[in-house]
Amino acid sequence: MRSKSDIIAILEKPGIIAIIRIQRPELIPPLSEALLRGGITAIEVTLTTPNALEAIRNLRQRIGGRAVIGVGTVLDEAACRGALQAGAEFVVSPVCRPGLVDVAHAAGCPVMLGAYTPSEAQIAHEAGADFIKLFPADNLGPRYIKALRAPLPHLRIVPTGGVDVHNIAEFFQAGCAAVGVGSSLLPAKLLQEQNWTELTRQAAELIRAARA
């Protein structure tokens, strides 16, 4: 069983969290294998995915030794407990819900609380969040994060929304601890075609861009 610090280390290196938010849960195992082949080792299954808890449980059994499996779109403590019992190793919320911190930490798992403003980000940090999910980040961008971290350098920011192969390096240069990537990595067309070879290629390209 991984420790919280072990999980955090995997989330931060290579620092890319693939966010799975789909309506066909049967595609999660093959697309997760494709992501792994491309080098992405952190996978977040959102609770908006049908049968999300079963998907998390199955992923832990299938690839848990090769990747960390987390849960996203967690809005309350009951949902958090259910996901942790299903095997989630990290918890992500799009909102600042401080009550999730104690639940996740009691299970030895890191937690990421959502924020949009400096005040929300600091409140999440003071509540004990291991990371701050900056959401939605597509209208803010790397310059906002750099400006935010100037007076608040202790924040471990993970932007979600608007991160792609063209700007991912800028987000890391701005001081992000990691990034969350969803539709830019898992576009609807690719999922419809089940083109796992292309997904592996795009995952590897994203990692190369981040390391650049």
**Catalytically annotated residues:** 44, 133
Q: Shortest CA distance to 85 belongs to which of 56, 128, 50, 65? A: 56
**Do the Cβ atoms of 2 and 195 come closer than 8 Å?**
no
Interhelix angle 28-37/196-211, nearest 10 degrees:
40
The structure tokens 């967690």 sit at 74
Token pair of 84, please? 């942790």
Rg (CA), the chain: 16
Query: How far apart (Å, rounded) are the C-alpha atoms in residues 204 and 141?
Result: 23
